[in-house]
Chains A and B, each alone.
Chain A
Amino acid sequence: MRREKGGAMVFVLMLLAGVAVLLLATSSLTSASLSRQQRREADAATKNAFDGITDLVVARVQSGAITGASPLSGTVGTVPYEGTVVDDSAANPHTWKVSATLTYKGRPYTYSRVIPKVVVPSPYTYAIFAEPSLSFNSRVVTGANGENGDIGSNGALSLVSGSTVNGNVEAPAVSADGSLIQGTIFSSGSPITVPAFDGALRLKYLAANPQPVTRLIEKNLDLGNNEFWYAEGNYSISGSLKGKGTVFVDGNLEINHHLRYSSSSDCVAFVVTGNITLTQSDAKDLCGYFYCGGNFESKNLIERNLLRGSIVTKGNFVADALFTATNDPLIWKFPQEAKNLKLPGYW
């Protein structure tokens, strides 16, 4: 009798062992699958929560609620977070960096993203900006490597086929004519005001330095550090530009030869109440921030190159041959430089 019971017991134990193994295997498979699904769920939940945090920060930046470095904390749904908004302009001009650590089911997940700051647009951050309209009658190449080549106008803008814009094109109406635009065409931006040179503005500039320069044909300027030169009447200039400062021409300006910076730290602003004209075949290169109260004209079928600067015209921009222009990003990176250079609208 005991032997029979023992045999049955062994049989039952073997069956139980087999079933237990089967159950363990199934359980292991299920738990592995479950943990994978839980990881995916955590990734999705925290990523979606961080997207929500970023959207919230963007809204607060645009409303003006965030204007400086700020701490972040709160809860998105059931996911608590702590983080910061810091100025990332050193790495990328006009940007904030949003960083946050989210806690989901006891585990931390850290994300970060760079977002744009609110920017007050300046015409001097464009390679070429013409207030009334910008209608090129020859090819234009602006910027390089996709940047520093934005062009804009408060009126219609039309490009000639074969042009290349390394940046955005901004105007209420844009005719690209098959040109290569490395950025985006924006047609809904608000107008950027280019100040007119009225009596009040003239007086302000005259008060800065009432003594006009004695020579009306200037070659090789050295402006030192923030010097202000005043030319009463028409003025011609060429040669090397050195230092940092402003040349105010109360009349027309002619660039009759190459006009080039002598070093990468030089920066000169030309504030011209009348027209700026280039006619000579030797005047191919030019540098500087140009405010033109009248028209900017490049004539005689000579290809010209704005090596570093900006051309902002109250009137029209006219070039009858290939015109290359690259914006000097100094004012873009350091907006207060527009005031230091005494550019109209910023001084």
Chain B
Amino acid sequence: MNRRGATLVEMMIVTMLTAMVIGSLTGLFGFVTSRAAHAAAQAGAQEQADAVAESIAQTVSAATGCTVVTLSGSQALRCTMPAVSVDRDGDGRPDRWQLWQVSRRGRERFGTGGRVWFYQSDATGAFGSAGTWPWRAHRSDDANPVLLGADGVAVDADQGWAKHSGLSTSKYYLVTGLTFSVDSAQKSVTYTVTASAINRDDRSMSAGDAASDGYAVARTRTVSWRNWRK
């Protein structure tokens, strides 16, 4: 058999072509994974902002009244809830509120129950502490939720809402801002939840990347409290 071998030029051409193909594929792979991570981060920011916004909306719409409380530069929304509540998901915190009684004129009365707070804080959940963790807290009165338990977390703070089960990380770690304003005449709350994929541990880009590579989402809603008849 007469086997003809490859010439040096042929080998060099093959090597060059192989390198070009692998290089382009590698570049393509890197681009795709980078954009996928960007998209995932964007989706994560949207999802977390939507989740917080929806939780606030559900609470405000069931409240009998809301007010903004400020402490040490931190802002919180305090919602006064109806007297009768139900814990439907079994987490020990009320999540549904209902009619308390009917007035002598046949109008709904919701009474006055506990307070639900929304604010940002650090890992302790103490209102007034600087931080970007979104927290929800429950109290039976108008005092601020600042008490700390044995685990260093505020007693009134709803850990199940703020953190992943069994972990010490915030569930809404991409949320960067919560602002509230109350219109008592219109019985409504306007709030903005902002979330961003920049400067987070699982971010798809580093802090040094161009700002245009980052993604910030803001959810602004105006929700009325419907159960205002006491």
Q: Which of B32, B40, B107, B230 contacts A146 (CB 8 A)?
A: B230
Q: Which residue of A lies closest to B36 (CB)?
A: A26
Q: Which of B25, B33, B99 contacts A95 (CB 8 A)?
A: B99
With most chain A CB atoms within 10 A of its CB, the pick from B25, B104, B105 is B104
| Chain A residue contacts of B107, Cβ below 8 A | 116, 184, 186
Q: Assess A125 versus B102: contact at CB under 8 Å? Given A29-B40, A146-B112, A182-B230.
A: no
Q: Which residue of A lies closest to B107 (CB)?
A: A116
Q: Which residue of B lies closest to A168 (CB)?
A: B103
B106 on the interface (CB 8 Å rule)? yes
> Per-position contact with B for A168-180: 1 when CB-CB < 8 Å, else 0?
1010000000000
> Per-position contact with B for A92-125: 1 when CB-CB < 8 Å, else 0?
1111000000000000000001111111011001
B interface, over-half SS: mixed
Q: Assess A183 versus B109: contact at CB under 8 Å? Given A33-B43, A116-B102.
A: yes
| Cross-chain contact B230 with A184 (CB below 8 angstroms) | yes
A162 on the interface (CB 8 Å rule)? no
Q: Which residue of A lies closest to B50 (CB)?
A: A40
Interface residues of B in 83-106 (CB under 8 A from A): 83, 98-99, 101-106
Shortest Cβ distance from A7 into chain B, in angstroms? 11
Q: How many residues of B contact A (CB 8 A)?
A: 26
A interface, over-half SS: mixed
Q: Which of B25, B40, B54, B105 contacts A168 (CB 8 A)?
A: B105
Shortest Cβ distance from B106 into chain A, in angstroms? 3
Shortest Cβ distance from A165 into chain B, in angstroms? 11
| Cross-chain contact B105 with A119 (CB below 8 angstroms) | yes
| Cross-chain contact A115 with B99 (CB below 8 angstroms) | yes
Shortest Cβ distance from A300 into chain B, in angstroms? 31
Q: How many residues of A contact B (CB 8 A)?
A: 37
| Chain B residue contacts of A40, Cβ below 8 A | 50, 54
| Cross-chain contact A92 with B102 (CB below 8 angstroms) | yes
Cα distance, A125 to B103, chains bound together (Å): 10
| Cross-chain contact B103 with A150 (CB below 8 angstroms) | yes
> Per-position contact with A for B95-138: 1 when CB-CB < 8 Å, else 0?
00011011111111101100000000000000000000000000
| Chain B residue contacts of A125, Cβ below 8 A | 104
| Cross-chain contact A116 with B47 (CB below 8 angstroms) | no
| Chain A residue contacts of B36, Cβ below 8 A | 25-26, 29
B200 on the interface (CB 8 Å rule)? no
Cα distance, A119 to B98, chains bound together (Å): 19
